[in-house]
Amino acid sequence: MEHNRPDPVRAGRRRVLITGARGQLGHALADAFADDDLVALSHEDWDVTLPAPAGLQPPDLVLHAAAWTDVDGAEADPQGASAVNVGGTANAAALGAQLVLFSTDYVFDGRKSEPYVESDSANPLSAYGRSKLHAEAVAGEDAWVVRSSWLYGPTGHNFLRTMLRLGAEREEVAVVDDQRGCPTYVGHLAPAVRELVDANRPRGVWHVAASGDCTWADFAEAIFAEASLACRVRRITSEELGRPAPRPAYAVLRSERPDAPVLPHWRKGLRACLAEMGR
């Protein structure tokens, strides 16, 4: 269990609990909320499928970043995914604090040809998407539900880090070109979440994703170009890739809320993330 200060007397500071604190989003949230009284809990500190650990001091705000994120694995173990994503959200909500739940573009079926906004009907194609949609319902109307897209950061398991590794090892990689979304840098998402909370924006669903959009193949080519890797991208279809879980073909997120945070373009996020990794 990681604390930024041992003194339980907060002198008016907000106590913020982060679940899944060792994940890529958890790291970014810890940076964005660093001047709060942080309690950053990893999976080892709190398996969210279980009630909160005994002795945990009541937080003012819970940033619930712990989640089952293995999209294909959820097809093989939907109950396991639900235990983490739905049951874990219920346990986080049971703390009785203000709650931010992180959700996904995979709650949509991808049949639109224009960006999804908050009022669009959800229709997930996969067990993972269904578990996240059910988690949104469990979080309740008093939570901020932040839907984002294709998250990546300098740590953890994500598409960017995988492409950097493969691009250094191979002359060519095959990447799907029929799925379109908004690659979102967690270093841009986390401060936007802070903006929502600090401004006490209305509770409910918010779409917060990088500006611009691209396919996975576009993203891979941009990664190789920015990282000066000579690897080529061979564009393939989702059918050719043959993953167990279906993905939405079009999952671009935009907000219809006039006061929604606007994130930088995904290319700026890519450059910022690579610069952070270089440091």
Is 152 among the residues known to form the active site? no
Give the residues across from 235 on adjacent strands: 175
Return the structure tokens found at 150: 């294709």
DSSP the chain: -EES---S--TTPPEEEEESTTSHHHHHHHHHTTTSEEEEE-TTT--TTSPPPTTPPPPSEEEE------HHHHHH-HHHHHIIIIIHHHHHHTT-SEEEEEEEGGGS-S--SS-B-TTSPP---SHHHHHHHHHHHHH-TTSEEEEE-SEE-SSSS-HHHHHHHHHHH-SEEEEE-S-EE--EEHHHHHHHHHHHHHTTPPSEEEE---BS-EEHHHHHHHHHHHTT---EEEEE-HHHHT-SS---SB--B----TT---PPBHHHHHHHHHHHHH-
* Active-site entry in 116, 128, 152, 185: 128
The type of residue at 216 is: W
Number of alpha carbons in the 13 Å side-chain half-sphere of residue 194: 20
Q: Which two tokens stand for residue 267?
A: 């290319």
Could you give the residue numbers annotated as active site?
Answer: 128
